[in-house]
């Protein structure tokens, strides 16, 4: 093959390498469901009656936890990306996906290799086909180049697939971070709600101790019966047991926070701080923004794009594969002549590979990639629907709990007033201690409900910010060149 023929072949290969088989990717529509016919509605259904933040704060910022105004929580949240081991796994997967882009991109270029060798040979004296007993040396310095010409876009689609997997991995990393940081906030508020419950029970124990002492004095004065003293003791001990039991759950939340911060539980101590703060007003935005604000939706969308590239890769297998190889170098039987001009050798030429019969394997592979793509579309739509549901759930939870809290405060106030009246009537000898115990139980139950409602509202606030994407946006996905 002369030089002009070689150049013509290479030029034709470069021109044809611009071809790409397979479907062009287009992002599917938002889920079609009764609630969302073609596009999401203009506002969230459960947002009616929910007081959001002012217009200037219409978006959640990256450090969403700062909306709670808790400096200790802020410090803990900043530690999660630095120390959490689960997050480090996701970060390592992210770096691996980034490296895969370059690994696949390298296939677009020729591979050049060399295999120099020096060998001394002796032909068997009984060899019937060559000169018996001949000894000779072989000094070789070959250089081989091969180029798999990407006629049909198989390699380019493989690179694109790796790029989209890289972006999906980046979204997965952000989603893992959001999950861990929201878990931390929930555990933090759960622990401090138990601090508030323990403070309530501590105060209640003190009040019951005074009531028991009053009952004993009345018994010694012949006004109260021994049964009433036993009732007061029972009420006190039951409350003390409940007070102690709070420590079980509180310790478990403290341990969970330690692990989220990448610390052994024995090295971490969460300061006691009864939960008192009110949940913040959270900017919800509009449903159409959600598709760009949730990292899990972004990851599902990038997985669709990657699955689309797999279809093109499978279809490229129906077309011939062109490989251009060239070999050249120096070879001699003597080290003296090894680098002399006559020792040169070379060969160059293309080769085509085309599968003629494979019993339907390639067609089945295309069908498999089409099915896999359909699965990613369904996963994307389901992820979006789940995201809408999570927001609606937490919006309704916050709205309803806020109304319930207002009513519960009135119930608690009435129960405390009833307890005070019952104690006064008992001191006056108008009722038995059973009436006091009943009033005490009702008052304590209502006070604990107050604490629990605040805990649930704080948890729902965290989950709502998580459902809204925690201030993340798809524009933050890294662009791989």
Taking 50 as the threshold, does the pLDDT of residue 53 lie above it? no
pLDDT value of residue 30: 63
Alpha carbon separation from 118 to 141, 142, 309, 328, 436 (Å, rounded)? 9, 12, 46, 17, 104
The DSSP output letter for 51 is -
Percent of the chain with pLDDT over 70: 90
pLDDT value of residue 40: 60
Per-residue pLDDT of 103-141, as tens digits, reads 999 999 999 999 999 999 888 888 777 777 788 899 999
Tokens describing residue 122: 């002796």
Range with the poorest average pLDDT among 46-50, 213-217, 326-330, 474-478: 46-50
Per-residue pLDDT of 90-105, as tens digits, reads 999 999 999 999 999 9
Q: Would you call 351 helix, strand, or coil by DSSP?
A: strand
CATH of 16-83+150-319+367-476, one of 1.20.1600.10, 1.10.357.10, 1.20.1110.10, 1.20.1250.20: 1.20.1600.10
- What is the rounded CA–CA span in Å between residue 243 and residue 65? 30
- What is the rounded CA–CA span in Å between residue 236 and residue 250? 22
The pLDDT-based confidence of 59 (bands split at 50, 70, 90) is low
Q: What are phi and psi of 345, to 5 degrees?
A: -150, 155
Range with the poorest average pLDDT among 33-47, 237-251, 437-451: 33-47
What are the domain boundaries of the chain? Answer: 16-83+150-319+367-476
Taking 60 as the threshold, does the pLDDT of residue 11 lie above it? no
Q: What are phi and psi of 119, to 5 degrees?
A: -140, 145
Higher pLDDT, 479 or 453: 453
pLDDT value of residue 56: 41
- Of the candidates 438, 385, 439, 451, the one whose C-alpha atom is nearest the C-alpha of residue 415 is 439
pLDDT value of residue 44: 72
Tokens describing residue 212: 């028991």
- What is the rounded CA–CA span in Å between residue 199 and residue 444? 12
Taking 80 as the threshold, does the pLDDT of residue 8 lie above it? no
Taking 90 as the threshold, does the pLDDT of residue 23 lie above it? no
Instruction: Give, for 353, the enclosing helix (H) or strand (E).
Output: strand 344-353
Taking 50 as the threshold, does the pLDDT of residue 350 lie above it? yes
pTM (2 d.p.)? 0.85
Taking 70 as the threshold, does the pLDDT of residue 37 lie above it? no
The pLDDT-based confidence of 4 (bands split at 50, 70, 90) is low
pLDDT value of residue 34: 41
Average pLDDT taken over every residue of the chain: 89
Residues 93, 99, 103, 105: what is their CA dihedral angle, to the nearest 10 degrees? 120
Taking 50 as the threshold, does the pLDDT of residue 35 lie above it? no
pLDDT value of residue 441: 95
The greatest distance separating any two alpha carbons of the chain, rounded to the nearest whole angstrom, comes to 132
- What is the rounded CA–CA span in Å between residue 238 and residue 440? 12
Residues 327 and 143: beta-carbon distance below 8 Å: yes
pLDDT value of residue 283: 83
Higher pLDDT, 377 or 50: 377
Residues 64 and 470: beta-carbon distance below 8 Å: yes
Per-residue pLDDT of 328-349, as tens digits, reads 999 998 888 899 999 999 999 9
Higher pLDDT, 19 or 142: 142
Per-residue pLDDT of 156-208, as tens digits, reads 999 999 999 999 999 999 999 999 999 999 999 999 999 999 999 999 999 99
């Amino acid at each position: 093959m002369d030089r002009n023929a070689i150049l013509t072949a290479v030029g034709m290969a470069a021109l044809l390498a611009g071809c790409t088989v397979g479907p062009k990717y287009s992002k599917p529509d938002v889920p079609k469901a009764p609630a969302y016919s073609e596009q999401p509605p203009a506002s969230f259904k459960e947002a009616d009656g929910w007081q959001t933040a002012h217009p200037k704060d219409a978006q959640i910022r990256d450090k969403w936890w700062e909306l709670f105004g808790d400096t200790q929580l802020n410090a803990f949240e900043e530690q999660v990306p630095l120390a959490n081991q689960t997050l480090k796994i996701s970060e390592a997967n992210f770096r691996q996906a980034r490296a895969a882009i370059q690994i696949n991109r390298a296939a677009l270029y020729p591979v050049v290799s060399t295999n120099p060798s020096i060998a001394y040979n002796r032909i068997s004296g009984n060899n019937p086909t060559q000169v018996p007993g001949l000894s000779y040396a072989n000094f070789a310095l070959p250089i081989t180049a091969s180029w798999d010409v990407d006629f049909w876009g198989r390699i380019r689609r493989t690179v694109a697939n790796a790029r989209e997997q890289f972006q999906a991995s980046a979204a997965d990393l952000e989603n893992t971070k959001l999950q861990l940081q929201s878990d931390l906030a929930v555990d933090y508020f759960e622990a401090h709600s138990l601090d508030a419950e323990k403070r309530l029970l501590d105060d209640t124990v003190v009040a019951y101790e005074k009531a028991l002492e009053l009952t004993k004095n009345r018994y010694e004065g012949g006004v109260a019966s021994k049964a009433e003293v036993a009732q007061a003791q029972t009420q006190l001990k039951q409350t003390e047991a409940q007070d102690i039991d709070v420590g079980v759950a509180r310790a478990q939340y403290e341990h969970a926070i330690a692990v989220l911060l990448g610390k052994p539980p024995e090295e971490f101590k969460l300061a006691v701080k009864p939960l008192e703060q009110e949940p913040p007003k959270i900017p919800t935005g509009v449903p159409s923004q959600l598709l760009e604000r949730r990292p899990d939706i972004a990851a599902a969308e990038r997985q669709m794009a990657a699955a689309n590239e797999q279809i093109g890769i499978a279809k490229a297998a129906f077309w011939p594969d062109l490989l251009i190889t060239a070999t050249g170098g120096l070879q001699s039987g003597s080290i003296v002549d090894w680098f002399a001009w006559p020792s040169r050798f070379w060969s160059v030429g293309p080769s085509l590979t085309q599968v003629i019969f494979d019993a339907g394997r390639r067609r089945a592979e295309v069908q498999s990639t089409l099915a896999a793509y359909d699965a990613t579309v369904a996963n994307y739509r389901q992820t979006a629907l789940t995201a809408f549901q999570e927001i609606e759930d937490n919006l309704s939870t916050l709205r309803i709990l806020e109304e319930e809290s207002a009513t519960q405060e009135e119930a608690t106030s009435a129960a405390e007033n009833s307890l005070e009246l019952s104690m006064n009537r008992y001191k006056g000898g108008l009722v038995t201690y059973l009436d006091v115990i009943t009033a005490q139980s009702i008052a304590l139950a209502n006070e604990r409900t107050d604490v629990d409602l605040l805990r649930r509202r704080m948890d729902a606030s965290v989950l709502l910010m998580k459902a809204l994407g925690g201030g993340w946006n798809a524009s933050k996905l890294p662009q791989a060149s």
